[in-house]
Amino acid sequence: MRQIKFRGRRVKDNGFVYGGRCIVLRGRTLIHDEETEQDVDVEPDSVAQFTNCLDANGEEIYDDDEIRIDFDGAAKVIGEGLLLSTLQTLKPTADAKLYVEYSHYRYRLIWRTHNGRVDTGVDMALLESILPYVEVV
């Protein structure tokens, strides 16, 4: 079953808060903190939803997280062929960073550069197959 969970930066001290409920109420964005059981004010632009995936180190991957992929290891899992050629499009360039982004009701891998963003065409199904080789930056 899919776990609904959010992360956001607290307004009070800029630390992260995690919880299963996020609401906007009278101009405030609140996440119900799972540790303190209280609603906590968070910066609206910092709110991200859990993708239900963990990286190679057991870190939760959230929407808008920058990730790094061990391409050699991932290629061994996927093998040669179409998926491998798709994976090659994800090799980093000097100014590009790879992010997980939620758009059009699904997660995608997106390159972000100083010039904007480029959709890689890779969705979470491929990412899930190579999770042992993915690390949150």
What is the residue-wise DSSP string for 89-129?
TT---TT-EEEEEEETTEEEEEEEETTEEEEEEEEHHHHHH
Q: Quick one: tokens of 84?
A: 């491998």
pLDDT at residue 80 in the model: 47
pLDDT at residue 129 in the model: 77
Could you read off the pLDDT of 73-90 as tens digits, one per residue? 776 666 545 455 565 566
pLDDT at residue 79 in the model: 58
Rounded Cα–Cα distance for residues 22 and 33 (Å): 9
Q: Quick one: tokens of 99?
A: 């992010």
Bridge-based pairing of strands 60-62 and 6-9 is unpaired
Say whether 50 sits in a helix, a strand or coil: strand
pLDDT at residue 61 in the model: 92
**What values do phi and psi take at 52, rounded to 5?**
70, 25
Q: Would you kindly state where each structural domain of the chain is located, as residue ranges?
A: 6-46, 54-136
Q: How confident is the model at residue 2 (pLDDT cuts 50, 70, 90)?
A: confident
41 beta partners: 30
pLDDT, mean of residues 103-112? 75
Q: How confident is the model at residue 133 (pLDDT cuts 50, 70, 90)?
A: confident
Biggest alpha carbon–alpha carbon distance for the chain: 53
Could you read off the pLDDT of 3-60 as tens digits, one per residue? 899 999 999 999 999 999 999 999 999 999 989 999 999 999 999 999 888 999 999 9
pTM given for the model: 0.77
